[in-house]
Structure 1
Amino acid sequence: MEKTKPCPSTKRLKQNPPSVDRLSRLPDAVLCQILSFLPTKLSVATSILAKRWRFLWTHVPTLDFDGENHNIINRVIMLHKVQGLTTFRLCYMDKCDDYEFETWITTAIARNVQNLDIGLNYQFMLPRCLFTCKTLVNLTLFNCVGIPSSGAVSLPSLKKLHLYFVRYQVDEAIPHLLSGCPVLDELIIEGIVDKDLLQDGVSKHISAEMLTSLIEADIYFDYYKNDGESDDYFQSVVKFIDSLRNVKYLKLSSGMELEPGGDFGGPESIRRFDNLTKLELAIDWLFLTRFLKSADNLEVLIISEVDGYLRYNWMKPKQVPTCLLSHLRMVRIDQFWCTKYEFKLVRYLLKNSKVLKRMEIYSPNNEAKFDTLQKISLFQRGSETCELAFY
């Protein structure tokens, strides 16, 4: 009698035993860490998976609300048990009032929140207690209003401050806020609007005089010139840049044109950038002259793409800057268009940089690359060990 063959599905079951639920075998602390990467709405939803998961979400160190109904937020915060919040994110709540919003922020602060991310539609004033939080390390504000211009501001642990389209009531608000951030090392400001909701007040009203701990800065000035405003705007930009005197790495970009022959208020006004070792510029070349004279310890110089007319303002320093004689080791020039102004700059740097190790030049002008390389190769070099690379 012929034996019956087992069906393929039965055979697969015998060879592949049911998979083990490895996720559920993880410790609660690990599961909470995993849940912390989810929006709170999804984290709470895991409570239906099994008895063990029912209240696991209440121990997750992150609360992330985006567009949630105020009743849901109230209930979640009431049931949540963590007293050391890693992150609290609150964006675009539905149907809440001033009291509820302030209560949520106050609760987060009382639970020693470290990272706070608030996104609004200018409908609520930020509570004053936010600006005296001792545990905040990172603060992001988007479409918010209520930056204080007076009174106590003390954020002793704040290292990163990101402000996007923040509305302030008086010009002194932002400087007052920065004055209470003694260890700040990252500042992003984008689209700040003043009390009239019309003007960009970033460079006009901000002073970074108190940002002594800032070691890296990436700044872009976007300016549309209006009659009678260019001089004031330019002076405020220069003052702001001067205040970043302790930075080690500075990236500065703008489409703003300076007046030809401008001297930044005279040599006596030039601040020293003694800690600056890496500089990246995509801005009017008058700034290049200024930094070469004021950054004695500059080691890396990157000149990025900038509109052609902004290159015309290159002015050779009257004396060879100290950084060229003793520290500058690497120069990179992007978008080299083979103009006489660019050749003039390259010739000057090669001749006067005594310890330069490498100069890289990137040109989009493929047809002229060979001739350009031949021409630059003939320039006098102050450093016998300098390598020239042309791409």
Structure 2
Amino acid sequence: MKKSAESSSKRPKISGNQETWAMADRLSYLPDSLLCHILSLLPFKLAVATSILSKRWRLLWTLVPRLDLDDHYKQKTYNRGGYWEENLFTEFEYMRFAKFIYRVFVLREAEFVKEFRLKCGNPCTDPSDVNAWVCASINRNLEQLELSLCVKKCLKLCHKIFNCEKVVVLKLNGNIRLDLPFSVSLPSLKRLHLAEILYTNDNIWRLLSGCPVLEEFVVKLDRLGGVFNISVPTLRTLSMEYYNYVDGGDYKLEINAPSLEYFTLVHPLLRESNLENLDNLVEADLNVCVNDRGYVIKLLKKLNNVRVLSLSNSLTWCLGSTSSNDIPVFHNLIHLELSFLFYDWKLLEKFLQNSAMLQVLVIAKALVDSESQWTPPQLVPECLSSHLTMISFNAALGSENELEFAKYILMNAGVLKTMKFCMQHIVLETKARILKLLSNTPRGSATCQLEFS
């Protein structure tokens, strides 16, 4: 025992810093391919900083196939030099950032750039530099390009990007003009995102026509004028958001997408649309301001095969005085989310009656209660008896009508598992009263749980 103790006392002690260095040095035994994968998970500038670790690490970052560059520009204010000094410093920052990117491309040993992401907020950003970096990436077998430019000078992308065989993902955001060449060919493009760019409807149509395997199209624009046509046989996901419109002009939305499964539409005022071949649609989220009840009914009939449906308060308001015969039957609907300007109990009843397979009902919000009262229907809707498992009041008012409706659901929903109440804007005393009232209500389902937040 004594000998063992002596031998252990002679062992060299390793300090905490030495242990940390020893653990870090284990990375050196890993192959370059694995180290490059690790570096690709780091912010790009941090990956470049690893070049100081050792001789082996000096150029290892140049093998990383992903370039994620951000100038992290923030508007600065100077009290002394004023506008001139601010502009001078801003230009200096951009020159330093641009020099860094050019150096990155010069030093890179990788034969390909799989992903190139660039985010610029500096107003001094030079479009010719951006195009040079994009072209350099394309020459290295680019597969994913993401540009986000909040700059003064408008960028006209080099035409080369619109005839790139290997690009799979293209995302353009900001002050970018969609200036297309005579022919567009993107045979591998599957995901296309356009946000706040400058465009014409014809250019959008031509761009989509050159994408034979496109599956996802996300567009966020500030206007809609003329005829906006989307006809893509392979499209599965379509998200369209508009925040303005050209008033006084004729405009129309045309969609022909037989493979479409997920559809989101946000528009401040939509007058006319033509939706065709939507039999495979699974989910639809509509936030559209309209005052034409007939148009809304026609729109819903085009979507009657969906499994998930979300309607904004402007749409439910427009449907307010619609007869039950006008609301289409949703044979496949299992998840329904409704928002209200004010509760429309008759409309709620119509949707319950016409959605026999409904499993989840979400009342996203109701700004005010309705003057009309909740009146239980003569026949319990089929979905309540055998399918509804969850109902959520995401912004509960705590009104008497709302509580009567909740009690009706509790008493008649045979397989209900959860009723959620989000009472963020309700005073504590009212919360306690609601909790007591609903807790004492007889339940049609023995497994139903109440959740309050």
- Say whether the fold is shared (TM-score over 0.5): yes
Structure 2 counterpart of 1:33: 37
Alpha-carbon RMSD: 4.4
Assess if the C-alpha contact under 8 Å between 2:208 and 2:230 holds in 1.
yes
Structure 2 counterpart of 1:7: none
Match among 73, 97, 107 for residue 79 of structure 1: 107
Match among 284, 308, 314 for residue 278 of structure 1: 308
Letter paired with 1:307: L
| Inter-CA distance 265–373: structure 2 relative to 1 (3 Å threshold) | closer
Structure 2 counterpart of 1:162: 193
Structure 2 counterpart of 1:213: 235
Letter paired with 2:381: K
Assess if the C-alpha contact under 8 Å between 1:182 and 1:213 holds in 2.
no
TM-score (norm 1): 0.71
Structure 2 counterpart of 1:364: 396
Match among 365, 382, 394 for residue 335 of structure 1: 365
Assess if the C-alpha contact under 8 Å between 1:143 and 1:164 holds in 2.
yes
Using the TM superposition, give the Cα deviation of residue 315 of structure 1 relative to its aligned residue in structure 2, in angstroms.
Answer: 9.8
SS in 2 for 1:174: helix
Pair 1:300-2:335 in alignment: yes
Distance 1:356 1:292 in 2: 20
| Inter-CA distance 238–312: structure 2 relative to 1 (3 Å threshold) | farther
| Inter-CA distance 367–65: structure 2 relative to 1 (3 Å threshold) | closer
Q: In the TM superposition, what are the counterparts of 1:103-114 in structure 2 within 5 Å?
A: 103-114=132-143
Using the TM superposition, give the Cα deviation of residue 43 of structure 1 relative to its aligned residue in structure 2, in angstroms.
Answer: 2.9
* Structure of higher RCO (CA pairs closer than 8 Å, 6+ residues apart): 1
SS in 2 for 1:181: coil
Distance 2:179 2:278 in 1: 23
Using the TM superposition, give the Cα deviation of residue 273 of structure 1 relative to its aligned residue in structure 2, in angstroms.
Answer: 3.6
Q: In the TM superposition, what are the counterparts of 1:371-390 in structure 2 within 5 Å?
A: 371-374=404-407, 389=419
Letter paired with 1:73: I
Pair 1:147-2:167 in alignment: no
Letter paired with 2:219: I
Assess if the C-alpha contact under 8 Å between 2:51 and 2:61 holds in 1.
yes
Distance 1:48 1:388 in 2: 56
Specify every segment of 5 or more residues in structure 2 that has no aligned partner in the other structure, as ranges: 1-8, 72-95, 253-266, 422-453
Distance 1:296 1:179 in 2: 34
The number of residues matched between the two structures is 357
Specify every segment of 5 or more residues in structure 1 that has no aligned partner in the other structure, as ranges: 1-9, 193-199
Assess if the C-alpha contact under 8 Å between 1:126 and 1:147 holds in 2.
yes
TM-score (norm 2): 0.63
1:359-381 Cα distance to aligned partner (Å, 9 max, x none): 51416233636544345567xx7
Distance 1:244 1:250 in 2: 11
SS in 2 for 1:141: strand
Percent sequence identity over aligned pairs = 28
Using the TM superposition, give the Cα deviation of residue 88 of structure 1 relative to its aligned residue in structure 2, in angstroms.
Answer: 0.8
| Inter-CA distance 30–185: structure 2 relative to 1 (3 Å threshold) | same
Assess if the C-alpha contact under 8 Å between 1:207 and 1:239 holds in 2.
no
SS in 1 for 2:155: coil
Using the TM superposition, give the Cα deviation of residue 52 of structure 1 relative to its aligned residue in structure 2, in angstroms.
Answer: 0.7
Letter paired with 2:336: L
Q: In the TM superposition, what are the counterparts of 1:1-391 in structure 2 within 5 Å?
A: 14=13, 16=15, 18-19=18-19, 20=22, 21-67=25-71, 69-92=97-120, 100-120=129-149, 121=151, 122-148=153-179, 151-168=182-199, 170-190=200-220, 192=221, 200-202=222-224, 206-210=228-232, 212-215=234-237, 217=238, 220=241, 222=243, 228=248, 236=270, 239=273, 246-254=280-288, 256=289, 258-259=290-291, 262-264=293-295, 267=298, 272-273=302-303, 276-283=306-313, 284-285=315-316, 286=318, 293=328, 296-303=331-338, 305-308=339-342, 314=347, 321=354, 324-325=355-356, 327-335=357-365, 338-339=369-370, 343=374, 347=377, 351=381, 353=383, 356-358=387-389, 360-362=391-393, 364-366=396-398, 368=400, 370-374=403-407, 389=419, 391=421
Moved more, 51-60 or 40-49: 40-49
Using the TM superposition, give the Cα deviation of residue 74 of structure 1 relative to its aligned residue in structure 2, in angstroms.
Answer: 2.5
